Amino acid sequence: MNAPHHRIVRAVVAISLFTAAVAATISTSNLHAAQSDPAYDDATHASDDRAMSVEARFDLATQAIAEGQIQRATRMLEQLVDDAPTHQLADDALFTAARLHEERLHAPKRALALYQRLLSLYPDSRTARAASRRVTAMRASMTPEGGGSAALARFGEIVQNFNPERENEAIVAAESLLNEYPSWQGRSRLLLWLAQVHRRAGRHELALERYLQAAEQAEDTDNGFPAWHGAGDMAVLVGQFQLAESYYNKLSTFEDPEKYHIAQRALEDLAHSRSRARLFDIAIFVLIAVLVCLVASLRIACGGWWAGIRGLWPPPMEAVFMAPIAILLPVSSYTGHYALGPTVTIICSGGLAITWLSGAALTAHQLRQPGRYLWPIVHAVAVMIAVSLLCYVAAQHNQLLDMLRDTVRFGPEM
């Protein structure tokens, strides 16, 4: 082969190699682009998933949920049901997908469709009853045509993102939702949730107002019954026993043996609450009487009212010893349960006042009649009675007695 022909062959080979390299580069680029596409990723996963067992596919979907890949998990679960509708995990997969659409993706229309599909395909499954309850609740918040789904989706977001440390933001968002959708048929459900938020925070009057609004707008038992029950509970806590009885009596109108039993139990608890209220009034009266006796003792020991007032200073040793404790305990108690701080504050401040008053009177008695033991004994008994009554009044006033009783019976909440 001569030189010109040789150069021609080499040029053809070089052009061929360059063309092949360019084609390979383009193919590789297209492959990477396809692999980065979510549709390709889902298709690849779907193809791989179908080669796995149903149990392994369910576990893989569960892992995707744990990793926060909610949309991928719902697709995997729904595909599992399509591929293996008779498998024992199919109803669990369909129920889980529906709950994810309802609670995480905030797609109530799609969630309702999946719940209804579950009831149609698996009416005797263990998840059917829970699905039926969800269908009832969602239908109460949506029209048959799907109206109200936007409001329901926003409500789901509020509930999911709720943080007790920033509850004001959730309350403002819920109030805004109520104002934007005045005719939304799911308002009773949102009002019931608001009432429960106020109740947990100890805002009983606000909770009562929201419970009543929810009860008036509720058109179904699922929302109406807990609304009237909560209104009765809040009426008891604010001392309106007659109103509480009228609210509890409304519970008996629901035609359900279990709900009727709950209504009767609520009325029995109301009778106990009235008895405790009378006992509370008696405790207040006796506590005031003991304090009056201690003041009278100070006056007798000092020989007059002005002398008694001057006898309170300097403070007795008992008060000096107790003062730091009476300051530190209330400050630390406000970091716990909302009712604990006010209760401890009342007990410590009242206990300090009783100690100061009794100590000043005893000091005056010892200066006036040294060696007499009758006054110390009388004061010791009076102080024990006063402190015991003070503890009862403070705990009852802040509704701590029932919580203390339940903690003793069932143990602390974990």
Q: What percent of the chain has pLDDT above 90? A: 55
Check whether residue 106 and residue 67 sit in a common domain: yes
Check whether residue 326 and residue 204 sit in a common domain: no
The per-residue pLDDT for range 266-316, each reduced to its tens digit, is 999 999 999 999 999 999 999 999 999 999 999 999 989 999 999 999 999
**Are 129 and 160 a contacting pair, CB within 8 Å?**
no
CATH of the domain at 187: 1.25.40.10
Count of domains for the chain:
3
The per-residue pLDDT for range 181-234, each reduced to its tens digit, is 988 888 998 999 999 999 998 899 999 999 999 999 886 667 889 999 999 999
**Of 89, 121, 141, which residue sits at a domain end?**
141
- CA distances to 111, 174, 179 from 151, rounded to whole Å, are 15, 10, 11
Check whether residue 281 and residue 406 sit in a common domain: yes
**Of 141, 160, 184, which residue sits at a domain end?**
141
- CA distances to 111, 200, 230, 256, 409 from 233, rounded to whole Å, are 34, 12, 5, 20, 21
Domain membership of residue 130 (yes or no) is yes
SS3 per residue for 43-112: HHHHHHHHCCCHHHHHHHHHHHHHCCCHHHHHHHHHHHHHHCCCCCCHHHHHHHHHHHHHHCCCCHHHHH
The per-residue pLDDT for range 246-257, each reduced to its tens digit, is 999 998 877 778
Domain membership of residue 77 (yes or no) is yes
Query: Residue 122 — φ and ψ, nearest 5°?
Result: -130, 65
**Of 141, 166, 181, which residue sits at a domain end?**
141
Check whether residue 310 and residue 403 sit in a common domain: yes
Burial (CB < 10 A; 0-12, 13-18, 19+), residue 25, is exposed
Reduced to 3 states (helix: H, G, I; strand: E, B; else coil), residue 304 is: coil
Instruction: For residue 99, give every residue at least 6 positions away whose Cβ sits within 8 Å of its Cβ, in sequence order, or none.
Output: 111, 134
pTM over 0.85: no
Structural tokens at position 378: 């009388």
> Is the N-terminal amide bond of 314 cis, ω within 30° of 0?
yes
Check whether residue 90 and residue 166 sit in a common domain: no
Domain membership of residue 5 (yes or no) is no
Q: What own/partner pairs with CB < 8 Å and gap ≥ 24 does 344-348 have?
A: 344/394, 346/390, 346/393, 346/394, 346/397, 347/390, 347/391, 347/394
Domain range for 164: 151-254
